[in-house]
Amino acid sequence: MSESKINWNWVIGIVIVILLGASIFTKQISEYIDMTAVYTAVLASVALLQWGTYSLQAKIMNRQLYKDHYLEVYEKLSSVVGAILSDGGYSDKALADIWQARDMARLVLNDEIAALTEDLLLKIRRLKRLNMDLFHEELKLPIGEKRNAAADEEMRIVNEIVNLQLYEKFRGFIADK
């Protein structure tokens, strides 16, 4: 829904009012004015303006609903990224949050945001596995090349997540225009 589109309900209503007004006032203004035509014109005008108003209200509510969805997904993603930066954040709650954000993005948000959430989910799942390879008592890799490679990959993925700049990707959808 582009902001520059014409609201045809309003245009049609205004044209009808102008045409009815012109047809009524071109007649002699004396006692020949048909009051039924005047009442019909007024009633039609009010009905069309009311219809246009409801249409505009529906568009505003729809835009707010989408804005709320984008904000909800952004808050979940931001929370998960913050948890990763502060304490590793590879918890089951972080995975559940990113999973919910990904599903909502797939359902109601645009393809760019859906792809972003999918990519972030895959990265976090990979980080969780790398975290186990590096720090889990029973599963961690022995010191050596594989462990160093896992640590390097973990750092690379964390840097990619930090450099996502989520606020930039969501700003256009959340900020008031």
Supply the DSSP string of 103-149, one letter for each residue: HHHHHHS-HHHHHHHHHHHHHHHHHHHHHHHHH-TTTPPPTTHHHHH
Contacts by residues 81-84 (CB-CB < 8 Å, ≥ 24 positions apart): 81/120, 81/161, 81/162, 81/164, 81/166, 84/124, 84/127, 84/158, 84/161
Domain ranges of the chain: 8-174
Query: What is the spatial distance between Cα 51 and Cα 56, in angstroms, rounded to a whole number?
Result: 9
Asked if residue 4 has pLDDT above 60, the reply is no
pLDDT tens digits along 101-112 = 999 888 888 898
Return the percentage of the chain with pLDDT > 70, whole number: 69
pLDDT tens digits along 38-94 = 667 777 777 776 776 666 565 656 666 678 888 888 898 888 888 888 876 567 788
- Give the per-residue pLDDT at 167: 84
- Give the per-residue pLDDT at 119: 92
